[in-house]
Structure 1
Amino acid sequence: MIKAPHFWWHRRLTLSAACLYPLSLLWGLAAGSRMRRAPEAFAAVPVICIGNYVVGGAGKTPTALAIARIAVALGRRPGFLLRGYGGSLRGPVLVDPKMHAASEVGDEALLLAALGPVVVSADRPKALPLLAAVGVDLIIMDDGFQNPALHKDLRLVVVDGTAGIGNGLVLPAGPLRAPLSVQLARTDAAIIVGAGAGGDAVLRRIARAGRPTFRAQLATRAHQSFGTEPYLAYAGIGRPEKFFNTLDHAGATIKEVRAFPDHHVYTDDDARKLLARAEREGLRLITTAKDHARLIGAKGAAGDLRDRSEVLEVRMVFADEPRLIALIEAMLRDFGRRSEAFGARR
């Protein structure tokens, strides 16, 4: 996986970004045109899409899990639909954590499967029959915001409060997946995760566009204790520094960190180096749930790394969850009314 260049996250225009700007104009035209397309398919049940404006980690998967918990509390049977980034299977395939590895379906799929059925499909509409067959009455998409193939009934965009949208430019000069104006027009609500100037700036843009915003943060599980022994923390996610900072704020003693590219597949050589360093310095190993999922089923040194590593348990906590629940309930009521009207016309 390619690591995002540092100049993407500079507030001021850098020479590298300026040189790539002509390519960004072309990318933006293509991406914007694609997002404006009419959807190819409509699901028989409501669809909530969890997306982000930029490439890299923003907290989509923890948000999808949190929305699923809300849906269950509302009496729904949610299921998940995703592309399976980092996996080899194009699908559609119903994920079985006992049979599938992250190398096949991606790490997010294995994490989401703890709360409901998960279908991985590069072609989202083709996943609908499988989700219907397992009795899902609400679909939660982890990513796919920029993909127009399937109609979304509620589009929630997750924004990292620290990074925001970086320099505000479209790929490859910046981290935006499509022009912000096009993405804002298709945003129903935004969730700002954590505090920071980057998130505040985006929040103002979203508010001016008339979209509701919510504050949230990743919180560690109350029961998790770290003790006094120092850790070697490692992560291969969009923004590893978020994981390291969360660990530090949670009270863990971090002596060393190792950052890998997003969705990194750990080799035996990686594992041996991490294990040897931890052994030599007397350090405990700790990583993210996503990284640990990528080690499920591993043998040899990678399997030893999995067994030796602790996992930081986090969940998304919303500052005003009742207001978010009300937004979801309103969408469900609107969907029900539209379905009844459509049935009456038929």
Structure 2
Amino acid sequence: MQAPGFWQHPPGLRAALLSPLAALYASATARRLRAGPRDTVGIPVICIGNLNAGGTGKTPTVIALAQHLIARGCTPHAVSRGYGGSLEGPVQVAQGAHDATQVGDEPLLLSAFLPTWVARDRAAGARLAATAGADVLLLDDGFQNPALAHDLSVIVVDAAYGFGNGKVIPAGPLREPVGTGLARADLLLSIGPDAAQEDFADRWGGLIDLPHLTARLEPLPTGLPLAGRPVLAFAGIGHPEKFFATLREMGADLLRAEPLSDHQPLTETLLMRLQREAKLLGAQLVTTEKDAVRIPPAFRQSVMTVPVRLRIHDTGPLETALSRILDRSPDI
């Protein structure tokens, strides 16, 4: 989804003209969330969602929480809608047996870290995960989906982009109003560098009446240093420029950056063009972990992947929330 530029600016004429449609969208979301009792599956369900349409950092958050839960002795499974995949599920993602066209790039990436299920019917996927041995469920997205009861809801937001112009689709980037969404959540997690976190707090702090965690994405060492290395980077994530900024911070000589749309298929034609251009520039092709799972096998050897992990600055509120739903004392 390519977001209109005006979504990131203070509300103007276009946002005002679209306000009646935005009100209808917000009303439809509210009606859907009021529909009937939600299913429960007998194990705690942690929803990692957002208020914004598009990427905010949910996938690295799911990975970080999975690793946190595993360190506490839990057996987490993830359930995802499988955006961009052809399978409706419920089906457990299997590395080597499924590809991104079947299950979506995010579930395929998640399956390298914890058992992951693709299910358009999230409640059905959750029941299968519980039957298969999960003792806690990580729901990748689904904050606005009424099918499944949540024991803990974490809203993820990109600190640099915040909640855009604060308006609901199509007048802005939001699935529901900020105040309405945060009132239903348990934790807010903003992701970004210190300067972005300060700007986010200045603009949106007045609406935040729940525990607020801050975090940043940090690249993992790969054994192939990028400092001074000429690279041609491509990324099909929510905000590709964040990946390009990370490469510059790592000291890479970024000769060219090709932003792609989120989840964009990496076709043979596209990759052959990028390969030819990289060869002409004498550059190394570089991409993200999420993009890498969409690369056809024939091209994987020529593309370097730069993995990142989420570092939460103060995990105290998270530990408290997890202890409440897992009925355990904090392990800190």
1:215 aligned residue: 214
Which of 173, 187, 191 is the equivalent residue of 1:189? 187
1:255 aligned residue: 255
- The alpha-carbon distance between structure 1 residues 214 and 38, as it changes in their structure 2 partners (threshold 3 A), is farther
The alpha carbon displacement at 1:198 in A equals 5.4
One-letter amino acid of the counterpart of residue 176, structure 1: L
**Is 1:317–2:311 an aligned residue pair?**
yes
SS in 2 for 1:139: strand
The alpha carbon displacement at 1:14 in A equals 2.7
CA contact (8 A) 1:165 1:198 kept: no
The alpha carbon displacement at 1:243 in A equals 0.8
Query: Equivalents in 1 of 2:199, 2:261: separation in Å?
Result: 22
String of CA shifts for 1:166-187, please: whole Å, max 9, x gaps: 0000001100011222211211
Taking every aligned residue pair, what percent have the same amino acid on both sides? Answer: 41
CA contact (8 A) 1:50 1:158 kept: yes
1:17 aligned residue: 15
2:50 aligned residue: 52
TM-score (structure 2 length as normaliser): 0.93
CA contact (8 A) 2:41 2:130 kept: no
Query: Equivalents in 1 of 2:137, 2:163: separation in Å?
Result: 27
String of CA shifts for 1:204-235, please: whole Å, max 9, x gaps: 1443x3x1001100011145521422110100
1:338 aligned residue: none
Query: Equivalents in 1 of 2:207, 2:142: separation in Å?
Result: 20
SS in 1 for 2:293: helix
The alpha carbon displacement at 1:268 in A equals 1.5
The alpha carbon displacement at 1:99 in A equals 0.7
**Is 1:199–2:193 an aligned residue pair?**
no
CA contact (8 A) 1:238 1:261 kept: yes
**Is 1:268–2:262 an aligned residue pair?**
no
One-letter amino acid of the counterpart of residue 264, structure 2: H
Query: Equivalents in 2 of 1:115, 1:223: separation in Å?
Result: 17
2:321 aligned residue: 327
2:231 aligned residue: 231
Q: What are structure 2's unaligned runs of at least 5 residues?
A: none
CA contact (8 A) 2:228 2:251 kept: no
One-letter amino acid of the counterpart of residue 7, structure 1: F
TM-score (structure 1 length as normaliser): 0.89
The alpha carbon displacement at 1:146 in A equals 0.9
Query: Equivalents in 1 of 2:38, 2:149: separation in Å?
Result: 7
Please give the residue correspondences for 1:137-156 in structure 2 after superposition, counting only pairs within 5 Å. 137-156=135-154
One-letter amino acid of the counterpart of residue 104, structure 1: Q
Query: Equivalents in 2 of 1:269, 1:36: separation in Å?
Result: 46
One-letter amino acid of the counterpart of residue 3, structure 1: Q
CA contact (8 A) 2:15 2:171 kept: yes
Query: Equivalents in 1 of 2:222, 2:316: separation in Å?
Result: 25
- The alpha-carbon distance between structure 1 residues 316 and 203, as it changes in their structure 2 partners (threshold 3 A), is farther
CA contact (8 A) 2:222 2:306 kept: no
Query: Equivalents in 2 of 1:132, 1:62: separation in Å?
Result: 23
SS in 1 for 2:52: coil
- The alpha-carbon distance between structure 1 residues 79 and 202, as it changes in their structure 2 partners (threshold 3 A), is farther
Query: Equivalents in 1 of 2:286, 2:222: separation in Å?
Result: 16
One-letter amino acid of the counterpart of residue 331, structure 1: I
The alpha carbon displacement at 1:262 in A equals 0.6
Query: Equivalents in 2 of 1:198, 1:122: separation in Å?
Result: 36
Query: Equivalents in 1 of 2:203, 2:142: separation in Å?
Result: 20
One-letter amino acid of the counterpart of residue 200, structure 2: G
Please give the residue correspondences for 1:126-165 in structure 2 after superposition, counting only pairs within 5 Å. 126-165=124-163
Query: Equivalents in 2 of 1:239, 1:133: separation in Å?
Result: 37
The alpha carbon displacement at 1:32 in A equals 1.9
CA contact (8 A) 1:49 1:141 kept: yes
Q: What are structure 1's unaligned runs of at least 5 residues?
A: 335-346
1:308 aligned residue: 302
The alpha carbon displacement at 1:133 in A equals 2.9
**Is 1:118–2:116 an aligned residue pair?**
yes
One-letter amino acid of the counterpart of residue 309, structure 1: V
Query: Equivalents in 1 of 2:317, 2:130: separation in Å?
Result: 29
String of CA shifts for 1:190-215, please: whole Å, max 9, x gaps: 011114265224651443x3x10011
- The alpha-carbon distance between structure 1 residues 85 and 202, as it changes in their structure 2 partners (threshold 3 A), is farther
SS in 2 for 1:23: helix
- The alpha-carbon distance between structure 1 residues 193 and 16, as it changes in their structure 2 partners (threshold 3 A), is same
CA contact (8 A) 1:165 1:202 kept: no
1:337 aligned residue: none
2:107 aligned residue: 109
Query: Equivalents in 2 of 1:55, 1:269: separation in Å?
Result: 29
The alpha carbon displacement at 1:132 in A equals 2.2
CA contact (8 A) 1:206 1:213 kept: no
CA contact (8 A) 1:49 1:144 kept: yes
